[in-house]
Chains A and B, each alone.
Chain A
Amino acid sequence: MINEEINEIQNIEIRLFLEALFQRYDYDFRNYSQAHIKRRILHRMNLNNFKNISEMQHRILYDPSFVQQILLDLSINVTEMYRDPSFYAAVRKEVIPILKTYPFIKTWHAGCSTGEEVYSMAILMREEGLLNRSQIYATDFNHKVLKIAKEGIYPIDQIKDYTTNYQKSGGKESFSSYYDANYNSVIIDSSLKKNIVFADHNLVTDSVFAEVNLIICRNVLIYFNRELQDKVIKLFLDSLAPGGILCLGSKENLQYSTHFEMFSVIDAHEKIYRKEYRH
């Protein structure tokens, strides 16, 4: 069989595979980036020496433990503290002054992964005097990463990079005052965790759970196709209070969303948007 045909067949197999995953386990990857899903599924197929994707589909239907492996393959949890320092600098400059006018601030980190982003923002809020009047929801659909996020324990070998990032982002203190270092790990200062709730939430299948003033959803939407991106933007729109702020990843944007005109642009480069007051 020629390779073009195999490619076509694999596309059919992938649709069936995702359908099986959804119908049997309620995990809905059907509208994720197809190129991404295909790469990851073929990678797993080769690693485990499956003959084809159909064989793997049979395995997920009958072996729930294998599903955990697939979920890990399909959800990418790569993250860091103060990823894109210029974004955090922009938040300090352009978003904090708005939040300071509120008596109480609700923040939602959607797709928080192992929590580095959440603690980065909590530190920033503390330095700006806002943490004690904050409620922070940090959600992800992957239980494994949520558990790590809650513990707030990270390998020490990354702290050097994180410290540099923190300083570049306009950090005002000594970064080491926010964690306790052990032999090969650091644990985040527990006072930073006080106002944070970590919870399971699936952006594709779950709905609005609170009205919030700030949503941070970085490097999650890139994994979705346009249609699903649009649906999730609508979920954010419905979750934001009027005048609420939406922060996306550096290479994400609202440009292709049908809801674009419901937002004004605060910082085009850093992808910071504000929900309009009208409607």
Chain B
Amino acid sequence: MIEQKSFPIYKPLAIVIGTSAGGVEALTKIFIGLRAGFSIPILVVQHISPSSDSYLPKHLNRLTTVSVNEAIDKTSIEEFNAYLAPPNYHMLVEEDRTISLTVDEKVSYARPSIDVLFETASRAYGRNLLGVIMTGANADGASGSKLLREMGGFLVVQDPKSAHISTMPEAALQLAGADYVTNLEGIIEFLNQLK
């Protein structure tokens, strides 16, 4: 089920990351680990309580040279930037590579939902998209990961054995398979070799 495809030859045009329980820690490690000057735009859905403030983007922003911000509706997706879905909004990628936010019903009990980001980003970026699924306690992201691979994107899944909570990576592996399965350190190393 898990295919170990060779690493993408092309630098992807965007990276989408989905995570839930345990994700703040995992994201913290990822952003600390990114090499200085990392340029590929990153879009992140971290499941988060609807009433939480904008702590997470500020926190992550301090860890890296990437400029991390809460996503604003209709922003163009730019290099050297990372965009976090705001609490209580879905984050969608338009095919003109701008961000739209919506307040649609929850998907897989979540808003923001990883599936919504992965599906729309897959349609916008096709084979030029890299997806990363990490620790989490539900199956959100699995069907988005499936579409991502169908559209030719490259999927990295955190090794469930190494994940704080394994449900989310397991669900993704089961439905979508993966191009590369590794622990957090491996994900960081993988991201840093993209050029």
Whether A251 touches B89, Cβ cut-off 8 Å, given contacts A33-B100, A78-B105, A222-B100, is yes
Q: How far is the CB of A246 from chain B (nearest CB, A)?
A: 16
Binds B, one of A34-42, A99-107, A125-133, A181-189: A34-42
Interface of A is mostly: helix
Asked if A256 CB lies within 8 Å of chain B CBs, one says yes
Number of A-B contacts defined by CB within 8 Å: 70
Q: Count the B residues whose beta carbon is within 8 Å of the partner chain — how many? A: 28
CB <8 Å contact, A226 and B74? yes
CB <8 Å contact, A4 and B127? yes
Residues 78-120 of B at the A interface (beta carbon under 8 Å): 86, 89, 92-96, 98, 100-105, 116, 119-120
Contact with A along B50-71 (1 / 0, CB 8 A): 0000000000000000000001
CB <8 Å contact, A251 and B104? no
CB <8 Å contact, B120 and A35? yes
Interface size class of A (residues with CB under 8 A): 20 to 34
Closest-by-CB residue of B relative to A32 is B100
List chain A residues, Cβ under 8 A from B126: 3-4, 7
CB <8 Å contact, B72 and A4? no
Q: How far is the CB of B47 from chain A (nearest CB, A)?
A: 17
List chain B residues, Cβ under 8 A from A76: 102-105
Given A11-B95, A78-B104, 5 extra CB contacts under 8 A:
A35-B100, A78-B103, A219-B103, A225-B94, A250-B86
Interface residues of A (CB under 8 A from B): 3-4, 7, 11, 33-36, 38-39, 76, 78, 219, 221-223, 225-226, 229, 250-253, 255-256
